[in-house]
Amino acid sequence: MKQPFVNHEQLCAITAQYPTPFHLYDEKGIRQTARDLYKAFSWNKGFKEYFAVKATPNPAILKILREEGCGTDCSSLTELMLSDAVGFQGEEMMFSSNVTPREDYQLAKKLGAIINLDDITHIEFLEDVAGIPETICCRYNPGGSFTLNNSIMDTPGEAKYGFTREQLTQGFKKLMQKGVKTFGLHAFLASNTTENGYYPALAKILFETAVELQRETGAHIAFINLSGGVGIPYRPDQPRNDIFVIGEGVRKAFEEVLVPAGMGDIRIFTELGRFMLAENGALIAKAIHEKHTHKEYIGLDACAANLMRPAMYGAYHHITVMGKEHAPCDRKYDVTGGLCENNDKFAIDRMLPKIELGDLLYIHDTGAHGFSMGYNYNGKLRSAEVLLKEDGTAELIRRAETPADYFATFDFTGLFKDLPKGKKEFIFDEPQPVKY
């Protein structure tokens, strides 16, 4: 069974200080995951993890990861700004984007981030808007389907990302003519895999491609970025990846392909978001309504605006009713939020212990692509984020949004200057912090 990283007593103390809903992160777990990853790839002297900022864009989380030796993988202007503000410098940042605005490339170039080109047409675009750096990376898409153990893991040919194999050779040659001296190669062929063989299989494809490119173009390939795709077991009965088995599998491919080709100095990079953070975060919500109609419903003070994966993908997130961890799961519920959409359900026909109003629900594995995918539909406000520190104390690392935040982008209109008496207190010239 999945176990929360916080007990009921601890959680009651935290919710007394910070009202639900909020996303809770486990500092101890984050640090241990990073250390295990680095240990698993310690055979590669230049290994570096570039954490996918899009998974959990919070400066407190990024600071923890920076202390553990990680860089950041950014995909937008604001993610670059956030990384810069936290203290990441130059090639500690990887900029992997697509359909990229000029301002994003300009900032990436200014900050000295490693730019990962998504398309051969971006070469001229980058040159025009920012100039070509001496170090650059190119994203590869081999097309077709990616299979592992005779099973289709994903279909890269349907993805919008990356160069074709022919375009890689053309692109490397063109970039060398424009002054590039150092290259990287990158690919992302499957998402949320729970097979230890994914990274080694991807690595072998990229290693063989790197050898071919070096022979065809004479380019100096200094690093290979395996990107993300290593997943976590969202369901209790799913297999769990073993990062040490994965690291050893990549090492074997490295020794088999790159070393004989005289390319044994290549650095290995990863861009793991889900693997690093998902299990180290949870959405904490309170049962505030129950409904007995054609089905049994439990309504929470959280909704899909706080965690959209179940509504968007039909994704499974395990739920623990805190304080009832050992009670029989003999009640069937739809666990819902309050949006005006029928897909606003965290669970459908889920067997759980009897839930009473006021019970705290721990929704597992929301540390990546949880808060970050939030939105304001129905005027719902984004929740707070709280860090469970290694010493057991809790720290607010993002306050909850207020109505003032929601209306802040109308500040140029003057619409809220003459509110009826008694309403004006809800609107401020500047967003005000919530007083817990």
Tell me: pLDDT of 38 over 60: yes
CA distance 160 to 124: 19
Q: How confident is the model at residue 155 (pLDDT cuts 50, 70, 90)?
A: confident
Superfamily grouping for domain 279-401: Lyase, Ornithine Decarboxylase; Chain A, domain 1 (2.40.37.10)
- The pLDDT value recorded for residue 414 is 79
The pLDDT of 243-269, averaged and rounded, is 98
Tens-place pLDDT, residues 277-307: 999 999 999 999 999 999 999 999 999 999 9
Tens-place pLDDT, residues 55-65: 999 999 999 99
Burial group, residue 140, by CB count within 10 angstroms (0-12, 13-18, 19+): buried
Task: Identify the residue with better confidence: 433 or 216.
Answer: 216
Q: How confident is the model at residue 416 (pLDDT cuts 50, 70, 90)?
A: low
Active-site option among 12, 70, 137, 340: 340
- The pLDDT value recorded for residue 146 is 77
Backbone angles phi, psi at 384, to 5 degrees: -80, 165
- The pLDDT value recorded for residue 415 is 78
Tell me: pLDDT of 425 over 50: no
Q: How confident is the model at residue 432 (pLDDT cuts 50, 70, 90)?
A: very low
Task: Identify the residue with better confidence: 233 or 153.
Answer: 233
Report the predicted TM-score, pTM, of the whole model to 2 decimal places. 0.93
- The pLDDT value recorded for residue 151 is 63
Tell me: pLDDT of 413 over 80: yes
Would strands 151-154 and 146-148 be described as parallel, antiparallel, or unpaired? Answer: antiparallel
- The pLDDT value recorded for residue 417 is 56
Task: Identify the residue with better confidence: 416 or 271.
Answer: 271
Q: Where in the chain is the domain with CATH 2.40.37.10?
A: 279-401
Verify whether residue 340 is a known catalytic residue.
Answer: yes
Q: Where in the chain is the domain with CATH 3.20.20.10?
A: 27-272
- The pLDDT value recorded for residue 429 is 46
Q: How confident is the model at residue 75 (pLDDT cuts 50, 70, 90)?
A: very high
Tell me: pLDDT of 341 over 50: yes
- The pLDDT value recorded for residue 150 is 54
- The pLDDT value recorded for residue 351 is 98
CA distance 248 to 301: 44
Strand (E) positions, 119-237? 135-139, 146-148, 151-154, 182-186, 221-225
Tell me: pLDDT of 433 over 80: no
Q: How confident is the model at residue 421 (pLDDT cuts 50, 70, 90)?
A: very low
* Domain 27-272 belongs in CATH node 3.20.20.10: yes
- Residue 381's closest CA among 282, 310, 302, 285? 302
Determine how many CB atoms are found less than 10 A away from the CB of residue 403. 15
SS3 304: coil
- The pLDDT value recorded for residue 348 is 98
Task: Identify the residue with better confidence: 345 or 409.
Answer: 345
Q: Which residues pair with 69 in a beta bridge?
A: none
Please state, rounded to an integer, the average pLDDT across all residues of the chain.
93
Give first-to-last CA distance, the chain, whole Å. 34
Tens-place pLDDT, residues 188-236: 988 889 999 999 999 999 999 999 999 999 999 999 999 999 999 999 9
